[in-house]
Amino acid sequence: MRFAFFFPGQGSQSLNMMAGFAGMPIVKAAFDEASAVLNLDLWAMINGGDADLINETVNTQPLMLAAGVAAWRAYQELGGKLPAALAGHSLGEYTALVASGSLLFTDAVRLVRLRAELMQEAVPQGQGAMAAVLGLDDEAVRQVCAQAEKECAGETAEAVNFNSPGQVVIAGSAAAIAHAVELAKAAGAKRAVPLPVSVPSHCRLMKPAAEKLAKALQNTDIKTPQIRVIHNADVAAHNDAVAIKDALVRQLYSPVRWTETVSLLVSEGITESAECGPGKVLAGLAKRIDKAAVCTALVSEDAVRGFIAAH
């Protein structure tokens, strides 16, 4: 039976998020490896008491990368079969590339920390915003954003995460997103709620960050993936380093096309998947995208063992 592995991005972090793997030294070792690169104790951070600290973008991105890689290594150590395809939501795309053998873990740690710094630098704290819009179709959300941009001259509002039918995240300038939230409610959205993030990811405000990230990627060694990785920006897999780097650069200012990613796999007969990393966000989205899609969240050693036994 063929199955896919999905890697979560920002928003799935929580304190003590690797507690389910307490008996597996390989998990702590992955955090130690990432910590050494950054000269920062990531393990202490997730097992501490400061939620604000792990929610800062510059910390969240390396933490989620380390968590996904740690869970992947735990799965391999327990004898899990290789998936037929990999995909990661936003930041999770880097984790997927590490799992595919395309990108060295230590290089990925450096890249995601830089990516986070560049994103924060591109839009200073308080100037950008993101919001989740529930209960409107994709086109209605796009129209709401277009109207918000028109009515807030010179401001940005874009649909940036197509997470599942009826769940779209918007991002842009704080004023335009606040206005778009009101417009979405007026257009019949069940809910339109601001998200607690400091950076408006995946909108055109991230273009300056993308240009700087492209320079860092020029000096990064990327190999042909050993497992197919489906990218966010174009819902396609790439084999050569130039195309993979280009997909990572475009990903910063392009929408995350998650609904299409899951739908593509289902259309190929890959209906089973595992969410490799903390949280159950992607497992929940899979069900909403296609009733045939079954995604298991590998949040503990027991969950991993159960998935391996069933596959």
- Residue-wise pLDDT for 225-250, tens only, equals 999 999 999 999 999 999 999 999 99
Q: What is the pLDDT of residue 197?
A: 83
Q: Is-catalytic flag, 179?
A: no
CB–CB of 170/264 below 8 Å? no
State phi, psi for 228 to the nearest 5 degrees: -60, 130
The span from the CA of 133 to the CA of 183, in Å, is 11
pTM: 0.97
Q: Which residues pair with 128 in a beta bridge?
A: 173
Q: Which residues pair with 169 in a beta bridge?
A: 132, 161
Query: Per the residue annotation, which of 12, 35, 90, 254 is the catalytic one?
Result: 90
CB–CB of 233/224 below 8 Å? no
Query: Per the residue annotation, which of 89, 179, 202, 238 is the catalytic one?
Result: 202
Instruction: Specify the 3-state DSSP secondary structure of 307.
Output: helix
Q: Is-catalytic flag, 198?
A: no
Amino acid at 118: L
The span from the CA of 130 to the CA of 113, in Å, is 21
CB–CB of 188/137 below 8 Å? no
How many C-beta neighbours within 10 Å does residue 53 have?
Answer: 14
Q: What is the pLDDT of residue 125?
A: 85
- Where the chain has pLDDT below 70, the residues are none
pLDDT of 204-216, one tens digit each?
Answer: 999 999 999 999 9
Name the burial class of residue 34, with classes exposed (0-12), middle (13-18) and buried (19+) by CB atoms within 10 angstroms of its CB. Answer: buried
228-230 vs 85-88, strand pairing mode:
parallel
157-164 vs 272-276, strand pairing mode:
unpaired
The span from the CA of 152 to the CA of 250, in Å, is 26
- 244 sits in the region (left: phi over 0; alpha: psi -120 to 50; else beta) called alpha
